[in-house]
A and B are shown apart, each in its own frame.
Chain A
Amino acid sequence: MKSAAPRRSNPLIFPARDALWLLPGAVMFCLCYLLPYGMSFGSSFLGESLASGFVGLENYRVLLGDSIYWLSLKNTLLFLALAIGVTLLLSVALAHVLFSYRFLQPFVVVLLIPVFLPASSMAALWCAMMGSRSPLLQLVSMKAEQWKYLSLLLLFVWKNAGAATSLLLVGLRQIEPSILSAAQIDGASKRVLLCKMELPLLRAMLAFALIYLTMNGVRVFRESYLLYGGYPPQTLYFVQHYINSYFVRLDYGLLSSAAVVFSNLVLVLFYLLWHLLRRGEEEGT
């Protein structure tokens, strides 16, 4: 007797008859994301003037030969790595403190306030606190360029640490208390508990926090632009500054090719993070 073939799991997590409900969302996704992306991709093969028409890969050749684009790409990735790393470390520490001292947990709401503040008012606040005339600057011996970098980094941490902390706090609460109690009874130190128990069990939430922080990290240009304009210090010149400068110059071909290259890079980054998240979920179950 032939053994029954194993049933392949349905990739859809909902019944097929309900797929219709996704139609409006799918249509809007196509209209608002896929269509503009396709248009940008098409524009990346057009010349800088209306008359020049199709120019093949010329824009990509110019783009990849431009030292300023590489500078912007390097700055963006460096800032992302640094900002996300610092925020994540701080969030883990904060979440751990809040989890350990439960009476502090209501204060997580305070940490979330920056998420709801408009970027423009935040930038105004930051200018007053961390601008070139800031008393803080007088206290530390730092060059203006380094101070501006630190200022933007702190703004990112301040804005995003609260949300990341909340996510991690939720993750910590989901850990079965008996597992941690058992480990404690077995003599596990706090460091072992954190490194060997809590962090591995938090992997899915950490990956999710990482995705959240990466999303906001990619968009940090807005704050940078509001604080330092279109010509920020050399170390804060991001890819979006580059794209914006060619938008001003009406060079849509180069603009589009820069956007396509960067968006593909971000897609790869998110794919890797998504993979990490799935692995975390699978190992968690």
Chain B
Amino acid sequence: MMKKLICAVILFALLMNCIVFLPFAVAEENVLKIAVINQSSAHNLPTEEAFFKSNPNATIEYRLYTEEQFNTMMLTGKMGCDLVILPYNYALNMAKKGYLTAVNQVLGLDGYPEQLLDVSQLLLMEDGVFGLPTSVWQTCWIWDISVGKKAGIAMPENAWTWEDYAACARNFPKDTDGDGKADIYLMYGSCVLACPAFQSVNTDLFKEYVGKYDEFDTFAKKYLDLFREIIVSDALLPMSDDSGAEVVLQGGYNGNPINLIDAGIDHSDGIVSYIEGQEGYRFLTPPLMDSSNVTYKGNMNVCAMPKSAANKELAKAFLQAMISDSALDYAMFMEDEDLVGKNPPKYNYYDSTGSFYPQFQERNNANVYTVSAGRDIQVISFLYSDEAYAQAQDFREKLSVDTIMMGRDFYDAAWNYLQEWYLGNMSDEELTRNMQYLFEVAKGVR
């Protein structure tokens, strides 16, 4: 009797385990499920509000996954979402592997929507447009004209190269008051270990390389000497912390005037607006590897529709909302910005307390953030001038982004090697060999 009872208990436990794995993929009619792998990707106030205008009874459910969870879902064929909002290289990878539907076909368009920032060269594949941009981020540099004049150095042309940058750096630092101490620098951050901004510039060199060369040797022969000169240049001002661009713009760094400042051009810190409002500052692009190919590195998030989407109608409505006037007329600021319209928005969603920033909560073993119609969001006029917006969008359209699935680990590893090399613990040959290995691993065999 006891044996039978134990057998029954074990079998019941087994059965319960099996039940857990059964798919309960019942499509909920009025719920649009969007998968994201970072919290800020779920911050899409203008599109959401435009979506709710045509679907007032619908609910948007963002589901936050780790990259591993997300890949596992695809591996097991249990995506369970109607749309995805992902970094560009993730979406591109999904498109290449055949997981995505061409959104232009869903929307009944011939090609890329013309009302959006033209980054179509990145989003077109054989089947059509595989996704629409939700946010774009790039780095811009800022030139202080008055400091440049004081130093007697003309502002470099836009679309300058790293060779131009190195040539410019050779003029710094300057002692303008004749006290024997340098008082004008080209840029902050002479100690690479203490300068995150310049670190990212350095890795940009390698990011740029990834798309252009097949072997690290080619890059090494051409750039290592130049790179070493740039990194050890006295033109860079030592810094001890990571001051924001605006702080440096207003007061120099530790009282030292400097010429160049590295800043994000995602509008969040108002840099474009600030320099437009200040006579003494001009926007300058980061240096290029090749002046005949003007592209600037950055990041982009993409909204795409998986082929397995259960609720295709709501997914289509969300995509329609993304390119609608009622979405593009509004801007939103906080971490990820959705200024992806070609023309400047008219209004600004103003959320001073962050009440409408995504707050995920655990529900049924998933991190979920739900949005419904009826939110009362404060609206103000759009902050920036048409000219500033156009200038920024012109720059942003020359976007180049990582196409390889490298991840943060790649840059950490690359930077570790560069540090060892810079500190003299690694020879040029060793650096070349190690970087070659990193790139081979990152690119993969196919």
Pair from one complex: yes
- Show the binding face of A for B, using Cβ within 8 Å: 20, 24, 27-28, 48-52, 62-63, 65-69, 71, 132, 143-145, 228-234, 237, 241, 245-252, 254
- Is the beta-carbon distance between B441 and A237 smaller than 8 angstroms? yes
- Is the beta-carbon distance between A143 and B10 smaller than 8 angstroms? no
- Show the binding face of B for A, using Cβ within 8 Å: 7, 10-11, 14, 67-68, 71, 74-75, 93-94, 96-99, 307, 405, 407-410, 412-414, 416, 420, 425-426, 433-434, 437-438, 440-442, 444-446
Which 9 pairs across A and B sit closest by C-beta, in order of nearness? Answer: A229-B409, A231-B413, A50-B98, A230-B409, A49-B98, A66-B445, A24-B10, A51-B98, A49-B97
Query: A229-B413, A231-B413 known; A68 and B445 CB under 8 Å?
Result: yes
B14 partner residues in chain A, CB cutoff 8 A: 24, 27-28
Minimum CB–CB distance for A126 against chain B, Å? 17
Minimum CB–CB distance for B39 against chain A, Å? 20
- Is the beta-carbon distance between B416 and A67 smaller than 8 angstroms? no
A48 partner residues in chain B, CB cutoff 8 A: 97, 446
- Is the beta-carbon distance between B93 and A250 smaller than 8 angstroms? yes
Minimum CB–CB distance for A229 against chain B, Å? 4
Bound complex: CA A100 to CA B11 (Å):
50
With A245-B405, A248-B67, A251-B444 known, 7 other A-B pairs at CB within 8 A are A20-B7, A24-B11, A28-B14, A49-B98, A143-B420, A145-B434, A248-B407
- Secondary structure type dominating chain B contacts: helix
B412 partner residues in chain A, CB cutoff 8 A: 229, 231
Bound complex: CA A68 to CA B440 (Å):
8
Minimum CB–CB distance for A122 against chain B, Å? 20
Tell me which of B68, B414, B420, B444 has the highest count of chain A C-beta atoms within 10 A of its own C-beta.
B444
Bound complex: CA A246 to CA B446 (Å):
10
**Whose C-beta in chain A lies nearest to the C-beta of B76?**
A39
Bound complex: CA A16 to CA B96 (Å):
54
Minimum CB–CB distance for A37 against chain B, Å? 15
- Is the beta-carbon distance between A250 and B446 smaller than 8 angstroms? no
- Is the beta-carbon distance between B71 and A250 smaller than 8 angstroms? yes
| 29 contacting pairs across A/B (C-beta < 8 A) | A24-B10, A24-B11, A48-B97, A49-B96, A50-B99, A51-B98, A62-B445, A65-B445, A68-B445, A132-B416, A145-B434, A228-B413, A229-B413, A231-B409, A231-B412, A231-B413, A231-B414, A231-B442, A234-B433, A234-B434, A245-B405, A245-B441, A248-B71, A248-B405, A249-B405, A250-B71, A250-B94, A251-B97, A254-B446
Minimum CB–CB distance for B307 against chain A, Å? 8
Bound complex: CA A48 to CA B74 (Å):
13
- Is the beta-carbon distance between A231 and B444 smaller than 8 angstroms? no
B405 partner residues in chain A, CB cutoff 8 A: 245, 248-249
- Is the beta-carbon distance between B74 and A250 smaller than 8 angstroms? yes
Bound complex: CA A228 to CA B71 (Å):
21
- Is the beta-carbon distance between B425 and A144 smaller than 8 angstroms? yes
Minimum CB–CB distance for B355 against chain A, Å? 34
Bound complex: CA A169 to CA B440 (Å):
46
A52 partner residues in chain B, CB cutoff 8 A: 98
**Whose C-beta in chain B lies nearest to the C-beta of A144?**
B420
- Is the beta-carbon distance between A230 and B410 smaller than 8 angstroms? yes
Bound complex: CA A132 to CA B417 (Å):
12
Bound complex: CA A32 to CA B229 (Å):
56
Minimum CB–CB distance for B185 against chain A, Å? 28
A237 partner residues in chain B, CB cutoff 8 A: 437, 441
- Is the beta-carbon distance between A230 and B407 smaller than 8 angstroms? yes
- Is the beta-carbon distance between B440 and A67 smaller than 8 angstroms? yes
Bound complex: CA A185 to CA B14 (Å):
59
A234 partner residues in chain B, CB cutoff 8 A: 433-434, 437
**Whose C-beta in chain A lies nearest to the C-beta of B404?**
A249
Bound complex: CA A242 to CA B403 (Å):
19
B441 partner residues in chain A, CB cutoff 8 A: 68, 231, 237, 241, 245
Bound complex: CA A63 to CA B413 (Å):
24
- Is the beta-carbon distance between A245 and B444 smaller than 8 angstroms? yes
B11 partner residues in chain A, CB cutoff 8 A: 24
B408 partner residues in chain A, CB cutoff 8 A: 229
Bound complex: CA A27 to CA B14 (Å):
9
- Is the beta-carbon distance between B446 and A62 smaller than 8 angstroms? yes
B414 partner residues in chain A, CB cutoff 8 A: 231
